[in-house]
Chain A
């Protein structure tokens, strides 16, 4: 199967407000008619995921999950989009799990591979921040303790 998936960079390019509005109106219209096509749902969901606003992203991921639930034939694709959505939201753990599942199905998928490395990088970055924080706290602690000890010994 030819993979036709966007790279993670694509998710960072947000649509203009008008475009998103058009997609939203289309989705709302079909929702009112109680028959929403998969493509419309995806369009709106993906548009939302591309958006920089977090509430939009959450809603977008929710729509993608909806597609995942209702359309078994679209699940393979949705795995990637869900991974991407979670990645963008910073839920790296979820992103990694979705992406791993996709890689398990399609080990050669380039987009999935690149996303996997991106997730690893992001996790590592946060790990460093965390380590730095922990290190800082530890340093502060040792300083305080040292100060106390010195004070106690001086007394």
Chain B
């Protein structure tokens, strides 16, 4: 409007100038005049046409305004209007309200909109979206306002007032003053009390009866007022009583507030403690990983050396009858695992093999994801599994009694059974087809086999005791396809065996240990444990044999049988394995036997040169490395001995009998009569059990390699674990 008014004089002047000087070309005459443009721009919002306004803008500044910018400005001018309409749910009234607020904003400089302002307004949406739960705990007991009133400085005002009153007024108020006060002639300086009546002692006592804390205060005041013989008046005292009650409430509020804060901090500390604990565990784990890597590196180096030497000798060396096997039990080199294993969390059973019907008695496997052989009670046919697929490949047929011990190295498998026979199997020749065919052929075939075998047995007991390998291998291949050789000689159940390279040592319930040559099948040496018991070496005086376990000479004839302590589920067995475990390295042999002794033998002489005593129950399992011997026993403990000194290095106590163990430099894994597999971390000295997806009855046997473990339990299942 103002511009329209201003327009006319401008035009008028232009017209006048044109009239006065027609020869001068008007610069504005060629296009629309500037004035026109400005007026259009000002009226643009009223025209409500986007195209118009943007055109005007482009006319105004054709150089700087690109089309895109123009549309942007045009839409930007349109946007706030719509958002205002959208936000105001209450419609036009809110619009008027914001309009009404506008002049206030303009006039009052203090109401400048700051970024903080915007921040809190913007947060509204987010806060309104948040869930509002029912208040609980201290929030429901003490409201914020209550807490506010209890804790602000003015909450102390009344108290200070009272104190001032007492302290200021108490000194030397004479009888005269008292009397004046009583007569209402004297005004208290700072307070508004109009004490008229003389206060009696009873009043003070009444105040004091409120409660303990009040009593003390009141008593003190009572004393003071008594000593001063001063009166406040009934109203004042009543008021003070009220104030004290209120102050006490405030104190109560503050106390509950502080208590809740303490609880909160306690919780926080606990959470932080948990985090610290977890971090410490992580740290230990890193340490262990480092150790593991060191071991792995060492293994790789050994492997390099080995491969160098073997390649050097390869052409020279003739192939042996029995394929040479690197002992996996002592192998330290890396086993390259399929990648999916790495993705599994540690300590989880990720595979269950169910086929056995009775508790597992022996278990061993060639390598992670390799071949597993397992045996169970009252079952003479150990089962062979493919660990890659978890399927049963076949069975090892031939034993005439339950199999007690198994060792697998690559494709070779040795099994010792109740029939006193140890069999050597070639796991490459076990397959399902073979088994099915035999199954169809039925019992007659089995009987035939037995006959053949008994013939074989006679054959092997020929005076020279040496069996030529070739005919037997042919014979075996004809018959079974997988049994390579028999080792016969023990008169009772073979309960423990260990072989490495060409050498096999077995322990049996006939209380002897036998050393065999694997390639010839010949018994090289027999070591009599009873003889060792009755002739203890004198090297270590004072090492008496625990008499209660060894029934002397009569034990030679009698059978060894001890009831096992009940396992976690209350079940127990008659334990009859006189030799619980054997292992050797070089010429050194270690055996653990029913008399609770761990014996170290020299395989060159066949003499026990040291006996480690400490267990109070039969030794069920043992293993040793360069430094330590670990032995598990029915006495519910694992003892770790020092190989050199023969002393006990460490004793691990369990709640139930230990039936199997395996250890390395960092951990001891044990089956100790419980459903969970027990793991003792030797670095952190911490015990843990593996339970996730684990056995439903106590674990009986276990074997692990690197991070891959197989366990067999009384629930007749086999579990494959990650470690």
Does chain A have a CB within 8 A of B130?
A: yes
Contacts of B119 in A (CB 8 A): 62
Proximity string of chain A (116-135) to chain B, C-beta cutoff 8 Å, 1 when within and 0 when not: 00000001111111111110
A68 touches B139 (CB 8 A): no
Q: Cβ of B145 < 8 Å from any Cβ of A?
A: yes
For window 131-158 of B, CB contacts with A under 8 Å fall at: 131-137, 139-140, 143-148, 151-154
- Does A115 sit at the interface, judged by CB under 8 A? no
Would you list which residues of chain B between 247 and 272 have a CB under 8 Å from chain A? 257, 261, 265
Q: Which of A18, A90, A97 contacts B101 (CB 8 A)?
A: A90
Are the C-beta atoms of B97 and A130 separated by less than 8 Å? Answer: yes
The interface residues of chain B lying within 8 Å CB-to-CB of A112 are none
Complex Cα spacing A82 to B128, Å: 11
Q: Does B534 have its Cβ within 8 Å of any Cβ on chain A?
A: no
B127: interface (CB < 8 Å): yes
Min CB gap B272→A, angstroms: 12
Interchain CB contact (< 8 A) of B96 among A42, A59, A98, A130? A130
Distance from A61 Cβ to chain B, minimum over Cβ atoms (Å): 5
Q: Quick one: which of B98, B127, B146, B152 contacts A82, CB cutoff 8 A?
A: B127
In the complex with contacts A4-B143, A54-B111, A105-B132, A43-B96 CB distance below 8 A: no
Q: Is the CB of A129 within 8 A of B147?
A: no
Is there an interface contact between A39 and B151, defined as CB atoms closer than 8 Å? yes
Q: Which of A71, A93, A129 is close to B139, meaning CB atoms less than 8 Å apart? A: A71
Q: Does B438 sit at the interface, judged by CB under 8 A?
A: no
Number of interface residues of B (CB under 8 A): 51
Interface residue? B464 (CB, 8 A)? no
* Contact present for A129 and B100 (CB under 8 Å): yes
Interface string of B109-127 (1 = CB under 8 A from A): 0110010110111011001
Q: Which of B90, B135, B153 contacts A76 (CB 8 A)?
A: B135
1/0 per residue, CB under 8 A from A, across B544-569: the answer is 00000000000000000000000000
Query: Does B130 contact A68, Cβ atoms closer than 8 Å?
Result: yes
Asked if B151 contacts A126 (CB within 8 A), the reply is: no
From B123, B134, B151, A43 is in contact (CB under 8 Å) with B151
Q: Which of A54, A77, A130 gathers most chain B CB within 10 Å?
A: A130
Q: Given that A5-B145, A58-B116 are known contacts, is A65 also in contact with B153, CB under 8 Å in the complex? A: no
CB distance from A105 to the nearest CB of B (A): 6
Determine the chain B residues whose CB is within 8 A of the CB of A126 once the complex forms: 96-98, 100-101
The complex places the Cα of A83 from the Cα of B133 at a distance, in Å, of 18
Among residues of A, the one whose C-beta sits closest to the C-beta of B134 is A76
Question: B304: CB under 8 A from chain A?
Answer: no
**Interface residue B94 (Cβ < 8 Å from any Cβ of A):** yes
Q: Which residues of B contact A (CB under 8 A)?
A: 1, 87-88, 90, 93-104, 110-111, 114, 116-117, 119-121, 123-124, 127-128, 130-137, 139-140, 143-148, 151-154, 257, 261, 265
Measuring CB to CB, which residues of chain A are less than 8 angstroms from any residue of chain B?
1, 4-6, 15, 18-19, 22-23, 35, 37-39, 42-43, 46-47, 53-55, 58-59, 61-62, 65, 67-69, 71-79, 81-82, 89-94, 97-98, 101, 105, 123-134, 144, 148
A and B contact pairs by CB, cutoff 8 A, 15 listed: A1-B135, A4-B146, A15-B152, A39-B151, A43-B147, A62-B119, A65-B120, A69-B130, A74-B144, A76-B134, A77-B143, A77-B145, A90-B111, A105-B132, A133-B100
